[in-house]
Amino acid sequence: MTPRTAGSARSARGAASAFRHRYGASPLHLLLVLASFALAVYAGIRLLNGDTLGVAIWFVGAALVHDLLLLPLYSLTDRAAQRLLPGPHPSGGSTPRPSINHLRVPGFISGLLLLVWWPLILQQGGHYTAYTALPSDGFLTRWLLITAGLFIGSAAAFLIGTWVRLRPRRRRIRAQARARKATK
């Protein structure tokens, strides 16, 4: 490498470092953020091209339903689940136990599936069969099976994680018991 190319490489690294210091992230991050804004603007233009008033009413209604109905509902549900799993956080402090996430994650995914597919789950699909040539029955059963599978998988992950985390403690207790037995 010649001294001239080494100097230009150093200045390029210096410029990237200065950009990262001022912006807080890499130039690639800025590029991806700008691309996502461009995609959102494109989607907004396409969405508002047809029924602008209907979309605005739907958006405001969805925000109101979320803030006035759903947020208090899932906040109360989360508090109730935290009361079911009593005890302090393993590291101390007042934050909830990490095991609560084994209820939150499958509950969130199940709720999201219900939100997306509720007309078909509640058998209010309308013209679903006419549009898709697929039967509209069985969505409730499938959603219940998926929900059960999510909670069973989460419970299995919790039990395996607890077993792995407690294995060194069990070994230490067995070693102490053998040491006591050997000294008798």
What tens digit of pLDDT does each residue of 106-155 get? Answer: 999 999 999 888 888 888 877 877 778 777 788 899 999 999 999 999 99
What one-character DSSP code corresponds to residue 136?
Answer: -
* E strand intervals along the chain: none
Cα 80 from Cα 96, distance rounded (Å): 12
Q: What is the mean pLDDT of residues 79-105?
A: 74
Q: pTM score, two decimals?
A: 0.60
Cα 32 from Cα 25, distance rounded (Å): 11
Q: Tell which phi-psi region holds residue 151, choosing left (phi > 0), alpha (psi between -120 and 50) or beta.
A: alpha
Average predicted confidence (pLDDT) for the chain: 84
Residue type present at position 85: L
What pLDDT sits at residue 69? 94
Run of H or E including 109:
helix 101-121
Q: What is the mean pLDDT of residues 32-60?
A: 88
Cα 87 from Cα 96, distance rounded (Å): 9
- Exposure b/e, 116-147, CB count within 10 A at least 16 = b: eeeebbeeebeebeeeeeeebeebeeebeeeb
What CA–CA distances, in Å, run from 15 to 3, 25, 31, 68, 183? 18, 13, 16, 48, 68
* Confidence category of residue 92, pLDDT binned at 50, 70, 90: low
Residue type present at position 151: F
Burial of 106 (0-12, 13-18, 19+ CB in 10 A): buried
